[in-house]
Amino acid sequence: MTVGALGKDLLGLEHLTGDQIRLILDSAEGFKEISERAIKKVPTLRGSTIVNLFFENSTRTRISFEFAEKRLSADTVNVSSSGSSVSKGETLVDTARNLEAMRIDMVVIRHGASGAAKFLAERIESNVINAGDGTHEHPTQGLLDMLTLRDHFKTLEGLKVCICGDVLHSRVARSNIWGLLKMGAQVGVCGPRSLLPNAIDEFGVTVFEHIEDAIQWADALNILRLQLERMTAGFIPSLREYNRVFGVSSERLSRAPNPLLILHPGPMNRGVEIDSDVADGPHSVILNQVTNGVAVRMAVLYLLSGGKPEHAEAAKGGGGR
């Protein structure tokens, strides 16, 4: 399997096979080295035009996609809702069709509505990559989390990963659960019942009510941000209370049978879901996740690039520069 094996779009991990996920992770391994060069550029996507449509705030994902695109020599344009005609009421599809009229090849979209990426993909010819849609999926985050876990543990098969915190509002949680299960990992979730989806028992995960039990069970914790901006009702009594009951502290981690690898997709609420000494501690791979994000996005862009022979040729052996 190679270029074209993912189909036209990357909308989520729920409908990818284990082989497709493995292909992305293996391809990302090959792209890591490009970011370590003095001149971080290969001609793989020269001539391609990519539009980054970010209708929700982002630091990591937006900048990481932009670096990935530029390092593959694509031409990129960034569009946000505030500076575009979306703020005048133009629809998402009209915006995308107008961009297509300017002959683009790919759209990377972040949107507050679950399903927005699929909605767009069904209506435009360009490849669509979901950079996070509402509370649904964030596939490249799930992939970079898996790459970071695989870097450390060498395999995902049989690995015990617990996703902690605000699972209810988390697209990162869904992409991780679906992706990790397909790769043979065991997945736990831990958080207050008010922050777990009602249908959590149907996801094939182990539910932990107490963070202490999750710490005893897991090899790695992926700690989620409390998404206060999506909480319309009183999901937790207070941030202080949440930290007291579910916060990941070094004192709690010290009771684990073995040191746990610590992941967080960012942005972090330090002192709420994760204490600073854990976030910055020796077992944290939070910044490795960010580094891996660029390689994963380069791999996804390459694999979706339509299988143009010149792209495959250019990617071989670093593609020259």
Q: How many CA atoms lie within 13 A of 139 on its CB side?
A: 26
Task: Tell me if 142 contacts ligand CP by CB under 6 A.
Answer: no
Instruction: Please identify, using beta-carbon distances, which residue of 143 and 314 lies nearer to ligand CP.
Output: 143
Cβ at position 298, least distance to ligand CP in Å: 17
Cβ at position 209, least distance to ligand CP in Å: 26
15, 319 Cβ separation under 8 angstroms = no
Instruction: Please identify, using beta-carbon distances, which residue of 48 and 61 lies nearer to ligand CP.
Output: 61
Dihedral sign for Cα 79, 85, 86, 91, please: negative
Alpha carbons 5 and 158: distance in angstroms, whole number: 26
Task: Tell me if 188 contacts ligand CP by CB under 6 A.
Answer: no
Task: Tell me if 148 contacts ligand CP by CB under 6 A.
Answer: no
Q: Which of 158, 267, 306, 307 binds ligand CP (CB under 6 A)?
A: 267
301, 69 Cβ separation under 8 angstroms = yes
Task: Tell me if 266 contacts ligand CP by CB under 6 A.
Answer: yes
Task: Tell me if 132 contacts ligand CP by CB under 6 A.
Answer: yes
Q: How many CA atoms lie within 13 A of 183 on its CB side?
A: 30
The token pair that represents 64 in the structure block:
């990481």
- Give the burial string for 24-62 (b: 16+ CB within 10 Å, else e): bbebbebbbebeeeeeeebbbbeebbbbbbbbbebebbb
Closest CA to 178 of 10, 17, 1, 6: 17
Q: Which part of the chain contacts ligand CP (CB under 6 A), choosing from 56-64, 114-122, 255-263, 305-313?
A: 56-64
Torsion angle (degrees, nearest 10) of CA 121, 62, 230, 176: 70
How many residues of this chain interact with ligand CP, rule: CB under 6 A? 10
Q: Which part of the chain contacts ligand CP (CB under 6 A), choosing from 44-52, 57-65, 188-196, 215-223?
A: 57-65
Q: Which of 2, 59, 155, 194 binds ligand CP (CB under 6 A)?
A: 59
Cβ at position 23, least distance to ligand CP in Å: 23
Task: Tell me if 58 contacts ligand CP by CB under 6 A.
Answer: yes
Task: Tell me if 81 contacts ligand CP by CB under 6 A.
Answer: no
296, 28 Cβ separation under 8 angstroms = yes
Cβ at position 251, least distance to ligand CP in Å: 27
Q: Which of 20, 52, 61, 284 binds ligand CP (CB under 6 A)?
A: 61
Alpha carbons 239 and 226: distance in angstroms, whole number: 9
Which residues, at least 6 apart from 102, have a Cβ–Cβ distance to it below 8 Å? 49
The token pair that represents 246 in the structure block:
């579910």
Q: Which part of the chain contacts ligand CP (CB under 6 A), choosing from 7-15, 35-43, 157-165, 262-270?
A: 262-270
Task: Tell me if 141 contacts ligand CP by CB under 6 A.
Answer: yes
Task: Tell me if 265 contacts ligand CP by CB under 6 A.
Answer: yes
Cβ at position 293, least distance to ligand CP in Å: 8
Alpha carbons 45 and 52: distance in angstroms, whole number: 15
Dihedral sign for Cα 244, 245, 249, 254, please: positive
Q: Which part of the chain contacts ligand CP (CB under 6 A), choosing from 52-60, 93-101, 112-120, 273-281?
A: 52-60
Q: Which part of the chain contacts ligand CP (CB under 6 A), choosing from 27-35, 43-51, 80-88, 263-271?
A: 263-271
233's torsion region: left (phi>0), alpha (psi -120 to 50) or beta?
beta
Instruction: Please identify, using beta-carbon distances, which residue of 228 and 245 lies nearer to ligand CP.
Output: 228
Q: What are the residues binding ligand CP (CB under 6 A)? A: 58-61, 132, 138, 141, 265-267
